[in-house]
Structure 1
């Protein structure tokens, strides 16, 4: 086996570590779905809550906080009146969209529908 191959043990460990980190974050229920919804543009809490069937307000609030802390979305407060809060993808969040679209396409082609 050639030693100049990009598939060395070190590369695999680094790649596997990065993949594990990504899925620890993205594998948290609803995170990827919230990001996908925001790919269509900024949205307020109520709009997100109505657009994501099955998510509770408390879970949505937690996921939005996680995504803001992770630097994938921004939270903007418009002092109003009335006060309005909106969420939007950051550049880092937008950079993730092609990968999420690929995962979604793979799921459509390879996983049985679960009635959604």
Structure 2
């Protein structure tokens, strides 16, 4: 468990969450889990659903997810293997839905022209991509400890933040992950170097609440009472927001020309959203998908 300056109970919780993120972070893991979200499938069926993923990448991911306890493997013959979500894997699906909701709201999207209205609207994005890109922001080493420390401390200097999030490491080690979080609009720094969470960073509360509950084996109904990410009074309004962004992680995946509105349980595709880039925001902000 990574050492932090947070209370032991919070550090233990944080460790479970970061381990869960590391389990989900490898590229395509989320796609595999969502492919199996409806029913167990044989290897060839999974391969057909993820045609861009070669055997050399699909087979190891199935093995790792099985070892982690998220998948169950049933072998009928050497070339006839059935994969399905385990109980823990099925319990993870609502958590992935919460992560997808954050990504759908905050991750930058390409806009396309809506023929019906003549307005530009965000292009539909596979929900697995929203989940994977969100995890890519918070899974890197020290990212989540820094975000948790900021949630506890509020506005903080980098030095005090380093002492809380990574006390066994040199102070200067905080700047690289902190700068990345600033580039991704999860934290903001003022001219005096003091740091605080942005609105997007504070909106990670449901993500961390649900991850914490799942990692501890607790029901999601208890998630909102999290000791760090429990609801707090409304914060002062930020300056005009920009969408959080992240580097490309996957090649273009063919998607249907038209997509119905998202329904509960439909985890693969983002629902139609009316969120658009704020007026006056830069064409791109930081990293893009």
Q: TM-score, structure 2 length as denominator?
A: 0.35
Q: What's 1:11 paired with?
A: 9
Match of 2:71 among 70, 73, 80: 73
The equivalent position to 1:59 in structure 2, one of 53, 57, 78, is: 57
Is the alpha carbon distance of 1:56 and 1:83 closer, same or farther for their aligned partners in structure 2, counting shifts above 3 Å?
Answer: closer
Partner of 2:87: 91
- Looking at CA atoms only, which structure, 1 or 2, has the larger radius of gyration? 2
Match of 1:43 in 2: 41
Distance in 1 (alpha carbons) for counterparts of 2:35 and 2:97 = 12
Kept after mapping to 2: 8 A contact 1:42/1:86 = yes
| Root-mean-square deviation (Å) | 2.0
Q: Which whole-Å CA distance do the structure 2 matches of 1:51 and 1:100 have between them?
A: 19
Quote the residue 1:32 is aligned against: 30
Answer yes or no: is the 8 Å Cα contact 2:39–2:84 preserved in 1.
Answer: yes
SS across alignment from 1:20: helix
State the match for 2:217 in structure 1.
none
SS in 1 for 2:74: strand
Is contact 2:71-2:89 (8 Å) kept?
yes
Q: What is the number of equivalent residue pairs in this alignment?
A: 107
Deviations 1:44-73 (A, max 9, x none): 112112212431211110000001111111
Q: Secondary structure in 2 aligned to 1:63?
A: helix
Q: List alignment gaps of at least 5 residues for structure 1.
A: 1-7
Superposition TM-score, scaled by structure 1 size = 0.81
Deviations 1:14-40 (A, max 9, x none): 121111101111111111221111111
- Indicate the SS of the match to 1:74: strand
Please state if 1:20 is matched with 2:24: no
**How far 1:11 sits from its partner (Å)?**
2.6
Instruction: Structure 2: give runs of 5+ residues left out of the alignment.
Output: 1-5, 111-251, 254-289
